[in-house]
Amino acid sequence: MTIHSSGLPHRWRALGIAGLLAALAACGGDPAGHGPAAQAPDAAPARVSLIPQPARIEPAQGRFVLTAATPLLAEGEQARTVAAQFAALLAKGRGLAPELAADGAGGEGAIRFAIDPARATGAESYRLDVSPQGVDVVAGDAAGLFYGAMTLLQLATLDDADTVALPALRIEDAPRFGWRGFMLDPARHFWSVEQVKQVIDAMALHKLNTLHWHLTDDQGWRIEIKQYPKLTEIGGCRIPAGDGGIDPASGQPRPYCGFYTQDQVREVVAYAAARHISIVPEFDVPGHATAAIAAYPELGTLDTPLVPSSEWGVFPNLFNTEEATFRFLENVIAEMVPLFPGPYFHIGGDEAVKDQWEASARVQQRMRELGAKDEMAMQSLLVARLEKFLAGHGKRLIGWDEILEGPLPAQATVMSWRGGEGALKAAREGHDVVMAPSGDLYLDYLQTSSPQEPPGRPATITLQQVYDFEPVPAELEAERQGHILGLQANLWTEHTRTFERLQHHMFPRLAAVAETGWTPAARKDYRDFLQRLPAQLRRYQRWGIGYALTPFQVDAVARDERATGTATVTLSNPLDYEVRYTTDGGEPQADSALYSAPLPVTLPATVRAAAFFEGRPLAPARDYAYDAASLRVRSDEQLATCPAAGDLLLRLEDDGPADGERAIFNLTIFYPCWLWSEADLDGVASIKVRAGTIPYYFQLAHDEPHRRFEPARSAHGELDILADGCEGERIASVPLPAAPEADGFVELTAALPQGLSGRQDLCLRFTGDTRPRTWVLDRATLQLR
């Protein structure tokens, strides 16, 4: 398919994809820089909306007015570096450019940065004092001083007032966890050096300190290895599925390529280190190896040639167990280790389906030679060997929790992604643990049920779910809790084709991750977090961070009452901010009607609604227009998932056009059906369905048997309509064509039996296994007699 669906969501507004250091300068402060710091000792303390919430805040009386003339004082190279970073960020975010004073300068009305180990309360801790006379930021190390500067920067952006006034207060602060991480995946969709730097900038502003860089996978090898140039020459390119992999000008295959040179890696690592972020590289073994084996076939288990995959999922391709392959792994690691000065090196270890090892006589012989009783023991031997190799290079091995399925070296660290059981097992065995459960901290999962969400993975992980996650399992014994190093949010990018979408998935949920990683558990409060979040959104706008609008917009559901020519409209905001609306087409304002109960409207009707906080809209208003005809139409986003389909709902993008915006469809790949709940069938003669096809690009490994489809009864399958839900009686059926029309779609009309009436649950289901394509539903329309 190459054209857009009529049900395509509008372009969600980007709030800037330029990096922090290229953000649009906002007005604020005294642009001329005149006058000393003003004092207002009688001013009442304002709300201090900081994220993450500091460990301790003591409000005081008065304020400190920051201007371009405010001197910045710092002694020593590290303190002067932090002061300069603060000045640069303030200039980009508020249009103020205070200058760093010469060594030894003093006087009131200044901001002083100091490193004093004697006053430290722990690694990364700081103290911030603001009074009408000046500001002091003191820490025991450079990281703590930097975090104090980030808090000061937030204080300078509490509001949009022309005057930058810092409330008088004292903050004593330190992080709860030492590992506060985010994982970026360039293997599926590649991110440029500048985009990676923008991610690092945003992490630093949230006091996150670990970037996990997932550099290798089935779909792409993303780091230069000089000893093995084919890893990037061949493994660094794939042909996208369908129309997306065809050059529209020539009709020839168009590769999707990208990798980081070693010089670029050094550049990114240094950039992160300057912001006190350690980068943990990942070289995934023995699975997720298709791109590497495509480059060097002798590394694989089969004789079948491979190419870097354009599909998503779990692949069977593993590195083989030959000594030469083990030396290859060590040689690659040996080139990577000097590029990353941090203490950890990630070796993956996840989703290594052992079918190829089980079927290979050579692997089985090799297992006997090495004394491995089964395939998992073979993987454990590999992990142990790499752990020893890494230790010899001064690194600690970390891997996904599957490495626990066999004997694990004592010094190995476990990243627990499959829930809490792996974390409990690892900690009880004495291993350090990083919590990254897929059900709470995977940011490529959808964050709201809005039809405006971009493509994403199954189910929904809301902002509150992320915020409420507790890294230390309640069942873990007190003496083992110290093994929980912290937490990490992961963002896999199979369905994240643009940097705009990457930021949409990250923010504001990464702010919730940051608060869990930094703030003492007793200080966390989700409702208070929501009170502080609007100020953070304004900072995002200043800093050029393109956060998601969907949590801050208003969703609407209308129930038609056809007999009376009316409808009832239910409005909601995913975060429960107040909703205000108009029905006359006007823009909602702070004094517009406050939504409190479903609205009865006479058709035709237009409802325009926005979410507000303290009199200000949080996102652009959304319009909902209803008439009798539109209420007989449902898009795929408005239809429910059939219970028989399970919970693997994917929000998938069309395969074309090759460039630009594409249609998006909700689909359950395990059972292609949709449910129209309580469809009003009075007077309905037929149902018309607009459908199309997209490539079926999924590898399901051992989950493949769980995929269901009803057998086709004709050459290409059918569109079946069932009454009373997806287990009900088939009441209509239309044969499917061999392919859609030239525009990528086909309209199918199924006549319904006479005598249907009232409200019924209609199931719309495609039959037959149509791979390598799969049918998707764009919209359904009830047609009257």
Could you list the active site residues?
A: 351
Q: Quick check: 484 and 608 in contact, CB under 8 A?
A: no
Of 755, 713, 754, the C-alpha closest to 734 is 713
Contact 565, 605 (CB under 8 A): no
Does the N-terminal peptide bond of residue 657 adopt cis geometry, omega within 30 degrees of 0?
yes
Helix ranges (H only) for 412-519 are 421-428, 438-441, 463-468, 499-506, 509-518
d(CA 702, CA 354): 10
> Residues 85, 540, 155, CA angle at the centre, nearest 5°?
55
Pair 651, 664: CB distance under 8 Å = yes
Tokens of 559: 């129930």
Alpha-carbon gap, residue 25 to 449, rounded angstroms: 34
The answer to whether 180 and 161 are in contact (CB under 8 A) is no
Phi-psi region of 548 (alpha: psi -120 to 50; beta: other; left: phi over 0): beta
C-alpha 237: how far from chain center: 24
Contact, 10 vs 452, CB < 8 A?
yes
Alpha-carbon gap, residue 505 to 460, rounded angstroms: 11
User: E-assigned strands of 401-541?
Assistant: 413-416, 433-435, 445-446, 457-460, 484-491
Rounded distance, CA 164 to CA 30, Å? Answer: 8
**Residue 435 in contact with residue 471, Cβ under 8 Å?**
yes
**What sections of 442-481 are H helices per DSSP?**
463-468
Non-local CB neighbours of 707 within 8 Å, separated by 6+ positions: 669, 670, 671, 700
Q: Among 333, 334, 210, 238, which residue's Cα sits nearest to residue 282?
A: 333
Q: Give the whole-angstrom CA distance, residue 13 versus residue 205.
A: 22
Beta strand ranges found along 565-620 (DSSP E): 566-572, 578-582, 593-594, 599-602, 605-613, 616-617
Closest CA to 692 of 645, 654, 734: 654
Torsion of CA 474, 483, 338, 188, to 10 degrees: -20
**Spatial distance between the Cα atoms of 33 and 292, rounded to a whole number of angstroms:** 57
What is the rounded CA–CA span in Å between residue 306 and residue 315?
Answer: 12
d(CA 15, CA 549): 9
